[in-house]
Structure 1
Amino acid sequence: MAIKSKAKFKRKEKYKKLLIHLLLILGGVSMMFPFFWMVSTSLKENALIFQLPPKWIPDPIAWHNYPDAMETIPFIRYFWNTTVITVLKGIGEVFVSALVAYGFARFRFPGRKFLFLFLLSTIMIPGEITLIPVFIMWRNVNLIDTYVPLILPAFAGSAVFIFFLKQYFSTIPKELEESARIDGCNSFQIFYKIFLPISKPALITIGIWSFQGSWNDLMGPLIYLNSYEKFTLQLGLSMFQSLHKVEWGQLMAASLMTMIPVLIIFFVGQKYFTEGIKLTGIKG
């Protein structure tokens, strides 16, 4: 009886795992459905896009949508503008957030808990509330239509990134810090020689978040940039909508090319991304 019960239990567990994997596969396919449709649309002529029943495999394949999209908007120029903003903003957000998180995790000073709670409370403030006053501030110092309003605030750090890194830094054994002090390291040397190398998974995680947020940002460039030559890719994609006749194939082609850097960054750093997410919640 015991052997039969054990076999029955294993069979139930097997079916349970099979059902879970089946549901995950179906969920994954449904999530990828819009992406597959975008790829298909980017290779179709306009007349075939709204054909019923829809055809997943274009015939003929309209490869010209990709070079045409790059001619409709100055794609290379916008790609460069977006890259400059994203890289500089990412450097500021990651480094400054790590530095501030290190201070909260390792230093004891009056008002530390209050300042940390005050920092976290800023996460609950919607960006729409501060949008107009911040715009007026940048306008008063004549920095509208420049990249400064898009890049400089990143060098004040991000409250969300500071929170996650503070959680991560709290898991690092204090013995490493004490050993470094015995060897003559000061606080900043401990930060960049010990904490930063050990925290690579968490740093890569927030780096990916920063990259995705900056690369896909439409609101910031839409508000602060006026000159066409300074536009980003997201503003360039929105220009397709302003055309008298929207070339949907070109729009999907441009959207797909815009997504490629984000996909590359995510898949390259996927291992560190999942590891960083797992470790940031270990200790409060």
Structure 2
Amino acid sequence: MQRKIWKRIGLTIVYLLLVLWAVFTFVPLLWMISSSFKDSSAITSVPPELIPKNPTLDAYKRIFQVGGLGRWFLNSTIIATVSTVINVFFASLAGYAFSKLRFPGRNAIFWVLLSSMMIPGQVTLIPLYILVVDSFQMENTYFGIIVPGMVAVGSIFLMRQFMGSLPSSLIDAGRIDACSEFGIFWKIILPISKPGLAVLGIFTFVAHWNNFFWPFLITNTNSMRTLQVGLTSFRFENLQDYGAMMAGAVCSAVPMIIVFLALQKYFLQGITIGAVKG
């Protein structure tokens, strides 16, 4: 009886801590959304108003009209979507090759690729900039932003580990039916890899959507700025317009929430694969 009582007390304490942590995490998000519907005086009022008494859409109007949020949003959407599709396709293709195909030097090539992850991005930044700007003349273009991040080694590693858990008997059956290697990959492997593709897609989309430094470095006009770069410049030019900054932050968070909710089912399956054996 005492053991059950102590167990219930322990569970109660754990649940209370989880609730407090959830509230602690949710309050900044609620404050951001609330502030986007306030005017400047209400945002800086004391005591603070968590729920706006007089909600207004002026902040959203200002950032669309003055800041050019629509163009920044379009640029981020194009860059994040195209980068995600390209990265998922080529990473899954490489993951299939490294996990299921047998060819000379397979493991050596994979470990060389994996070792490149130890090189800090700052080391290759200047050579990459010179290559993109001087050699390929892709400054201030979509290609200049997308091409350097088309395929990430971490993505290849993720898909290799995931596809290594898929049954090879399906591949053998496809070969018996005279299906080409790409046909096996496209018609057999990809359909059963949705959980892994969803995890990689979410991570890739969020990473490219929130990417700041490379778009900031490679773009030099307001029309080519991404949302993250544009919001930063808007902040520097309008130091007191907190409402517009919060409105831009809300608009920036919406696509990531939509992507996660759309792929939530596959995402949860992907992160739990291999957690239960037997």
The alignment's TM-score, normalised by the length of structure 1, stands at 0.91
CA displacement 1:85-139 (0-9 Å, x = unmatched): 1111111100000000101001222222221111111222211111111001112
Measure, in 1, the Cα distance between the counterparts of 2:180 and 2:85. Answer: 23
Structure 1 residue 121 corresponds to structure 2 residue 115: yes
**Worse overlay, 159-168 or 236-245:** 236-245
Measure, in 2, the Cα distance between the counterparts of 1:187 and 1:12. Answer: 58
Structure 1 residue 50 corresponds to structure 2 residue 50: no
Structure 1 residue 247 corresponds to structure 2 residue 241: yes
* Equivalent of 1:69 in 63, 68, 92: 63
- Taking a change above 3 Å as real, the CA distance of residues 193 and 260 of structure 1, as seen in their structure-2 partners, is same
Report the counterpart of residue 102 of structure 2 in structure 1: 108
Which sections of structure 2, spanning at least 5 residues, go unmatched?
Answer: none
How many residues in Structure 1 have an aligned counterpart in Structure 2? 276
Structure 1 residue 213 corresponds to structure 2 residue 213: no
Report the AA paired with residue 138 of structure 2: L
* Equivalent of 2:90 in 93, 96, 99: 96
Which sections of structure 1, spanning at least 5 residues, go unmatched?
Answer: 1-6
Report the counterpart of residue 27 of structure 1 in structure 2: 21
RMSD between aligned residues: 1.8
CA displacement 1:168-203 (0-9 Å, x = unmatched): 111111111111111111211111111100000100
Runs of 4 or more consecutive aligned structure 1 residues displaced over 6 Å after TM superposition: 280-283
Measure, in 2, the Cα distance between the counterparts of 1:184 and 1:154. Answer: 35
Measure, in 2, the Cα distance between the counterparts of 1:172 and 1:57. Answer: 50
Shift of 1:62: 2.6
Structure 1 residue 149 corresponds to structure 2 residue 132: no
Report the AA paired with residue 259 of structure 1: A
Measure, in 2, the Cα distance between the counterparts of 1:248 and 1:277. Answer: 37
Measure, in 2, the Cα distance between the counterparts of 1:99 and 1:235. Answer: 32
CA displacement 1:42-61 (0-9 Å, x = unmatched): 12221222222222122222
Task: Provide the identity percentage.
Answer: 35
Contact 1:90 1:211 in 2 (8 A): yes
* Equivalent of 2:190 in 187, 193, 196: 196
